[in-house]
Amino acid sequence: MIDPAAVEEIKQILGRSKRVLVTTHIAPDGDALGSLTAMGLALEQLGKKPTLVCDDGLGEPFTFLPFADKVVKRVRGSTHFDAVFAVDCGDIERTGRALKPLQKKMPPIVNIDHHVSNTHFGTVNIVISEAPATAEILTNLFLQIGVELDVSLATCLLTGLVTDTQAFRIPSVTAETLRVASLLTDAGANLAEITMRTLVIKDLSTVQLWRIGLNNMHLEDGLAWTTISQADLQLVRDPGAPHDGLNNILADIEEAKAGIVFTEREDGRVKVGFRSRPPVDVAQFATKLGGGGHRQAAGALINGPFNDAVKQVVELVKQGLKEA
């Protein structure tokens, strides 16, 4: 249940609006894009003219989403909008350049999000940090304002829910999350297909990167780490492929308390990606290196040379794990 006063304010804004810009955060994930397209579909159902903007666009594996082809990187034509909806976006800076063309005459902003760090930048703010996904908040909002959950809308929303919860596996998943998911499957969303497309299937380059990473893996004193150098990247079909999953594999080793993937960048700097299982806090290490993140997933970008950087961070983290 969403605060009825906030829902009333949203209804009033919608009552005065025809053209609505919907946006989300840069480097979008499944919850960002699922929420963006769901909001667009809902607005269309309510007779509005939505424009969906994501500064980084919408790419694989999310092109299957209903309304995916409506997502643009920049506003074209008139920059007059009656309202802005920002979904899954903790900070207005995270919208990138999406709102730049509106700066001179910014309409009311409705901010719907679940990031604990949300800056409440909206005219109306629905920020529920206990919710595991923005899509869960949106589902409840749609029910409260009388939007019908059809199969397209349900598919977008369930995609947000499945991806942000890693298929309902994280601690913030509650009975309410499962009730929302069952409403969405009742409406026709295909849970198995969404999970397969967004969490299971990987492109070949990703798995090639994992192979390199697993070959280079070390495990000492409760720390699992691996290195991917520029020379290694030459062996991968698409060197830019994501290798987040590799991080999780390392941190999932029973004998490991934390996992680190070191990636050598073209500019000589070193990307350091941390993962851990509760209660081990890796954000402290990332922060020490000038980066940041969450307790169980954090990162930093540090200076090379590569081998020296790896050695230094491994020693720092091993020491920290020993003291903890």
Q: How many CB atoms lie within 10 A of CB 217?
A: 18
Residue pointed to by tokens 């939007």: 147
Closer residue to Mn ion, CB minimum distance, 117 or 319 = 117
Residue nearest Mn ion, Cβ-based: 31
Whole-angstrom distance, CA of residue 144 vs CA of residue 7: 8
Closer residue to Mn ion, CB minimum distance, 113 or 232 = 113
Residue 322 Cβ, how far from Mn ion at the closest point, in Å?
34
113 near Mn ion, rule: CB under 5 A: no
**Among the listed residues 101, 97, 112, the one whose alpha carbon sits nearest the alpha carbon of residue 57:** 97
**Among the listed residues 163, 164, 157, 194, the one whose alpha carbon sits nearest the alpha carbon of residue 179:** 157
| # residues near Mn ion by CB under 5 A | 4
**Among the listed residues 267, 266, 259, 271, the one whose alpha carbon sits nearest the alpha carbon of residue 321:** 259
Residue 88 Cβ, how far from Mn ion at the closest point, in Å?
4
Closer residue to Mn ion, CB minimum distance, 88 or 264 = 88
Whole-angstrom distance, CA of residue 116 vs CA of residue 122: 15
Residue 115 Cβ, how far from Mn ion at the closest point, in Å?
7
| Window 116-145: contact mask with Mn ion (x via CB under 5 A) | ------------------x-----------
* Distances in whole angstroms, Cα of residue 145 to Cα of each of 65, 117, 160: 23, 27, 20
Residue 24 Cβ, how far from Mn ion at the closest point, in Å?
9
Whole-angstrom distance, CA of residue 25 vs CA of residue 7: 23
Site for Mn ion in 152-171 (CB under 5 A): 164
Q: Looking at 22, 25, 31, 37, which residue binds Mn ion (CB under 5 A)?
A: 31
88 near Mn ion, rule: CB under 5 A: yes
Name the residues that contact Mn ion, by CB under 5 A. 31, 88, 134, 164
